[in-house]
A = this chain, B = another copy of it.
Amino acid sequence: MELEATKPFLSIVGEANTKHSQAQLLAYSYDATANFQAKPDLVLSPSSTEEIADIVKLCEKSQIPIISRGSGTNLAAGTVPTQGGVVILFNNMKKILELDEENLTVTVQPGVITQDLCLFVEKHGLFYPPDPSSMKISTIGGNVSENSGGLRGLKYGVTKDYVKAMTVVMPNGEIMKLGGKLAKDVAGYDLLSLMVGAEGTLGIITEITLKLIPLPAIKKTGIAYFNSLEDAAKTVSAIIANKIIPVTLEFMDKGTIHAVEDFMSIGLPRDAEAMLLMEQDGTEEQVARDIQTMIGIAEQQGATSAILATSEKQAEELKTGRRVALSALSRKRPTTILEDATVPRSQIATMVKAIQEIAAKYNVQINTFGHAGDGNLHPTCLTDARDKEEMERVEHALDEIFHTAIELGGTITGEHGVGEMKSPYLEWKLGTAGIDLMKHIKQAVDPLNIMNPGKVFAKETKKRLVVHSG
């Protein structure tokens, strides 16, 4: 962008809140996704909804792309400015605006860090359940735009289940308020849910009111190790069939266990083929009962060991181990591609087995961890982007993983979003009718296509592979 062209933007946010040197632009040319990079023209840190509305109006006039970006932990290239344009940061909009203990809501600016919010409300005896693994650095605005999940999704749902109201700057610069501090509201179409998870393609969210729930009295963690992935998967199904909905039911395979142990040395057994982390919260009696039942079920299903975490410290270590799985794995090879294929819970064993077979077939290294209770798996491919031949095999393997997930009644992304990376696969899940409906909505809301262009909607849809299921 020519210096002259940046001036109207500078006059909105001020020089101190503008980044336009090449070094600065480089820093915002990527997110947590491998293999996607593109420099923006300008990076702005507005301080209010009104400033954002003014920025959007300028962008609309000149048809400049706008990419809103939280902490850039996106794993589907959703926050990479692949068509250039203006990146909007929220580092000047990170206030917790109001805690309403009577209506059990908290109202925040988008730049608030997820974990900060969780800790803040917990001090008041309240609970904000969505906990993406990146919660220490991710922002609430990013979480809402991506409809982030997390470890506690099984029992408590995902971000969209907690969004009660928002302020959005629409692509024409208009400021719209949606929802309210209401337990029930059926006044018109569910525009609020439409904005949640729209990945910044329909507007810029500038204020969010979230629902809170009372903080459970206690929580406890159990751990089970298995000689086979199937036994772990069967344990998951049996727990649910026993009418227990734990807070978390997390899964790691052998490769992930090794990577985490290499990284953290917390004493995970290297001979285990699979591990389940089982957490329950609630009242003392309920938690004690559920954890004992889950440990019993794991034993019945052939766990080599199934025990209660000996202390809160050990439980925290184990959970941290699970949360850092991606970082731990990513140290192993130059390039890490984390996927997010999700299947109905009943299909976890089938899916994990299929992933292993696909990895063997294409001779690529794929480790799997994830939210087993949700059927939300994270097959993680360790590779090297510089090796073209290997990358081709990786791409075939990932294609086949997505294909298998869809075949099993699943989806191409459970919680990471479509972004640009997964856009060629979206039609596999939605069909042409679904894609057409989405396009109609996008066209109606953002006719100039300035809001995060190139994301969600693919230039070209991938052909489905002919897969011989086995």
On A, residues with C-beta under 8 Å from B are 100-104, 125-126, 146-147, 149, 153-154, 158, 160-161, 170, 174-178, 180-191, 193-194, 196-198, 202, 213-215, 237, 240-241, 243-245, 282-283, 285-286, 342-346, 371, 373-376, 409-418, 422, 426, 429-431, 433-435, 437-438, 440-441, 443-445, 456
Contact = CB atoms under 8 A, between A and B. Distances in A.
Select the residue from A214, A243, A456 with max chain B CB neighbours within 10 A: A243
A125 B412 contact: no
A106 to B, nearest CB: 14
Given A103-B346, A190-B193, A345-B103, A125 B243 contact: yes
B182 A410 contact: yes
Contacts of A418: 186-188
A345 B212 CA distance: 14
Given A103-B346, A411-B185, A437-B176, A245 B191 contact: no
A218 to B, nearest CB: 13
Given A181-B346, A188-B435, 8 more contacts: A147-B186, A174-B433, A177-B431, A185-B413, A187-B411, A187-B418, A189-B198, A437-B445
Given A178-B434, A440-B445, A415 B184 contact: yes
Contacts of A194: 189-190, 193-194
A370 to B, nearest CB: 10
Given A187-B411, A342-B184, A429-B187, A241 B174 contact: no
Contacts of A100: 344, 346
Contact of A441 (B126, B186, B189, B371): B189
A154 B180 contact: no
A254 to B, nearest CB: 24
Given A187-B429, A198-B189, A101 B241 contact: yes
A411 B182 contact: yes
B344 A182 contact: yes
User: How many copies of the shown chain assemble into the complex?
Assistant: 2
Contact of A184 (B153, B175, B240, B434): B153
Contacts of A430: 187-188, 191
A410 B178 CA distance: 12
Given A146-B186, A170-B433, A213-B245, A181 B376 contact: no
Contacts of A180: 344, 409-411
A360 B186 CA distance: 28
B186 A414 contact: yes
Contacts of A125: 243
A23 B436 CA distance: 42
A376 B189 contact: no
The 4 nearest A-B residue pairs measured at CB: A440-B444, A193-B193, A214-B243, A184-B414
Contacts of A285: 283, 285-286
Contacts of A344: 100, 102-103, 180-182
A424 to B, nearest CB: 12
Contacts of A438: 188-189, 191
A434 B176 contact: yes
A214 B245 contact: yes
B413 A187 contact: yes
A462 to B, nearest CB: 14
27 contacts: A100-B346, A101-B241, A102-B237, A102-B344, A102-B345, A158-B184, A176-B433, A176-B434, A180-B344, A180-B411, A181-B345, A182-B344, A182-B410, A183-B371, A183-B376, A184-B414, A186-B417, A188-B429, A188-B430, A188-B434, A188-B435, A188-B438, A191-B430, A191-B437, A194-B194, A440-B444, A443-B444
Contacts of A214: 243-245
Contacts of A146: 186
Select the residue from A184, A412, A440 with max chain B CB neighbours within 10 A: A184
Nearest to A346: B102
Nearest to A440: B444
Contacts of A437: 170, 176, 191, 444-445
A189 B429 CA distance: 12
Given A241-B101, A344-B180, A416 B186 contact: yes
A371 B286 CA distance: 28
A211 to B, nearest CB: 10
Given A438-B188, A444-B440, A104 B240 contact: yes
